[in-house]
């Protein structure tokens, strides 16, 4: 039996692929954009600004939180979400390295 589709790749590459897959939905990208623009954590504002039902937004928030792209804090019945800067630094570093490789090899094509 052959290896799985991801078994032959580096752990870091597989982890980043999962993170980027989570970002591959317009609702999740919109949530990230909202959080990035906000100086404070965001709570219920998603429902008013996104063309989705609250349960759908909750599922998208859960996916982003599972990938550690966002973090949430609970205050009574309210949950506020913020960007997870540590994870975003990892994503930025990964993509920056690819960009540098592309730029250094651009002249070869």
pLDDT digits over 2-50, tens only?
A: 567 888 899 999 999 999 999 999 999 999 999 999 877 787 788 888 9
Instruction: Examine the pLDDT at 103 and tell me if it is beyond 80.
Output: yes
- pLDDT of the residue at 89: 96
Q: How many CB atoms lie within 10 A of CB 91?
A: 16
Q: 97 and 83 in contact (C-beta within 8 Å)?
A: no
Share of the chain above pLDDT 70, in %: 94
* CA dist 10 → 6, 13, 20, 48, 66 (Å): 9, 5, 15, 41, 21
* Domains of the chain, each with CATH number or no CATH: 11-108 (1.10.10.10)
- pLDDT of the residue at 41: 77
- pLDDT of the residue at 6: 83
């Amino acid at each position: 039996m052959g290896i799985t589709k991801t078994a032959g790749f580096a752990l870091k590459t597989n982890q980043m692929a999962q993170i980027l897959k989570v970002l591959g939905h317009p609702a999740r990208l919109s949530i990230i954009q909202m959080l990035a623009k906000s100086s404070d954590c965001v709570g219920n504002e998603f429902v008013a600004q996104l063309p989705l039902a609250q349960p759908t937004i909750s599922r998208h928030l859960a996916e982003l939180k599972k990938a550690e792209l966002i973090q949430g804090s609970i205050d009574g019945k309210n949950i506020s979400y913020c960007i997870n800067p540590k994870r975003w630094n990892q994503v930025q570093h990964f993509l920056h390295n690819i960009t540098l490789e592309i730029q250094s090899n651009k002249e070869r094509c």
